[in-house]
């Protein structure tokens, strides 16, 4: 939520669905049912997963999309009817599973319409992974779904990314994008900044952020830079900054 709050402060007109409010139902009913059609910019700060077995089941996980593993007669019957292309429940982590009915799957994203969409940012894990479809003779991915639906630019990730470094990278990207207006150039500059920023300049940047004092304090605690030297670069490793790309 820190990521969303900081980014939202840079826009005048905005519609935020945060935490448990960010459900699939909320996005398909008034007053948000026209959100995709009317929005210029969409930012998804959520988990995402690419399904290599059935790419059209790749998904963005919304609120309510992760559930406990359970077994019932109805569930067993459903699983017997499922094919690889229609599975509702998919494995997740540590005894959890994904209910794709509560997610936006790639199949559904292909059917959306973004007539005004300038940019969709998928601030999530593995949202940029791609597979070649031999039947269609083209590459298929979550970004390709949004591009097919009319979005001009999509930012996505190629591997499981750090929540903290991603939040900082995304906030910096939107700062630069406001003046740069080039998605690829602003992302490149934000990644370069994250790679080279040291403790001293990172703290100055945090001080200038338009965030509540308690939110800034939470960020500082997560960074845990107290005993580091002023020249320490916490995000210089490629893992932190190189995972995002623009389409």
Q: Output 79 or 164, whichever has higher pLDDT.
A: 164
126 and 208, same domain (yes or no): no
Give the residues across from 105 on adjacent strands.
Answer: 59
What's the CA gap between 11 and 178, in Å, rounded?
Answer: 9
Tokens (6 digits) for 74 = 């109805």
Q: Output 24 or 78, whichever has higher pLDDT.
A: 24
| 160, 182, 200 - which closes a domain | 160
151 and 195, same domain (yes or no): no
Mean pLDDT of 132-143: 61
pTM for the structure as a whole: 0.85
Mean pLDDT of 217-246: 93
| 160, 175, 204 - which closes a domain | 160
* Structure confidence by residue, pLDDT tens digits, 1-18: 788 888 988 888 889 998
**Number of separate domains in the chain:** 2
- The answer, yes or no, to whether residue 31 has pLDDT greater than 70, is yes
Task: Please tell me the predicted confidence (pLDDT) of residue 83.
Answer: 57
Which 3-state string (H, E, C) describes the chain?
Answer: CHHHHHHHCCCCCCCCCCHHHCCHHHHHCCCCCCHHHHCCEEEECCEEECCCCCHHHCEEECCCCEEECCCCHHHHHHHHHCCCCCCCEEECCCCEEEEHHHEEEHHHHHCCCCCCCCEEEECCCCCCCCEEECCCCEEECHHHHHHHCCCCEEEEECCCCCHHHHHHHHHHHHHHHHHHCCHHHHHHHHHHHHHHCCHHHHHHHHHHCCCCHHHHHHHHHHHCCCCCCCCCCCCCCHHHHCCEEEC
Task: Please tell me the predicted confidence (pLDDT) of residue 135.
Answer: 46
- The answer, yes or no, to whether residue 114 has pLDDT greater than 60, is yes
User: Using CA of residue 183, residue 186, residue 192, residue 196, what is the dihedral sign?
Assistant: negative
CB 161 within 8 A of CB 192: no
Phi, psi of 42 (to 5 degrees): -130, 135
| 128, 160, 192 - which closes a domain | 160
Task: Please tell me the predicted confidence (pLDDT) of residue 28.
Answer: 87
Which residues lie below 8 Å from residue 88, measured CB to CB, with a gap of 6+?
78, 82, 99, 100, 101
Mean pLDDT of 220-232: 91
Has residue 224 been placed in a domain? Answer: yes
Has residue 36 been placed in a domain? Answer: yes
35 and 144, same domain (yes or no): yes
Tokens (6 digits) for 32 = 């948000």
CB 171 within 8 A of CB 7: yes
Among 17-21, 46-50, 130-134, the least confident range: 130-134
Task: Please tell me the predicted confidence (pLDDT) of residue 127.
Answer: 67
Task: Please tell me the predicted confidence (pLDDT) of residue 137.
Answer: 41
Task: Please tell me the predicted confidence (pLDDT) of residue 74.
Answer: 55
- The answer, yes or no, to whether residue 199 has pLDDT greater than 60, is yes
Total Cβ atoms within 10 A of residue 161:
22
Q: Output 203 or 74, whichever has higher pLDDT.
A: 203
Could you tell me the residue range of the domain that residue 57 belongs to? 1-65+101-160
- The answer, yes or no, to whether residue 78 has pLDDT greater than 80, is no
Distances (CA, A) of 190 to 1, 165, 174: 20, 11, 9
115 and 23, same domain (yes or no): yes
- The answer, yes or no, to whether residue 101 has pLDDT greater than 90, is yes
* Structure confidence by residue, pLDDT tens digits, 40-70: 999 999 888 888 888 899 999 999 999 988 7
What's the CA gap between 17 and 19, in Å, rounded?
Answer: 7
Task: Please tell me the predicted confidence (pLDDT) of residue 136.
Answer: 42
Biggest CA pair distance of the chain: 60
């Amino acid at each position: 939520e820190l990521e969303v709050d900081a980014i939202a402060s840079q826009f005048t007109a905005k519609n935020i669905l945060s935490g448990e409010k960010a459900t699939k139902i909320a996005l398909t009913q008034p007053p948000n049912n026209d959100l995709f059609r009317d929005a210029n910019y969409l930012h998804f700060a959520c988990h995402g997963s690419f399904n290599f077995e059935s790419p059209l089941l790749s998904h963005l996980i919304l609120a309510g999309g992760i559930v406990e593993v359970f077994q019932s007669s109805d569930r067993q019957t459903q699983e017997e009817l499922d094919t690889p292309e229609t599975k509702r429940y998919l494995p997740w982590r540590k005894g959890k599973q994904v209910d794709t009915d509560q997610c936006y799957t790639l199949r559904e994203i292909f059917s959306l319409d973004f007539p005004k969409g300038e940019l969709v940012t998928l601030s999530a894990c593995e949202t940029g992974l791609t597979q070649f479809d031999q039947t269609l003779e083209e590459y298929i991915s979550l970004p390709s779904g949004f591009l097919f639906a009319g979005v001009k630019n999509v930012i996505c990730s190629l591997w499981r990314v750090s929540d903290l470094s991603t939040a900082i990278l995304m906030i910096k990207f939107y700062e630069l994008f406001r003046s740069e207006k080039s998605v690829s150039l602003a992302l490149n500059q934000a990644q370069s900044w994250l790679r080279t920023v040291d403790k001293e300049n990172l703290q100055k940047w945090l001080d200038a952020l338009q965030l509540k004092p308690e939110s800034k304090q939470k960020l500082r605690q997560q960074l845990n830079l107290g005993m580091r030297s002023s020249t320490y670069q916490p995000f210089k490793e490629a893992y932190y900054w190189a995972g995002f790309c623009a389409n």
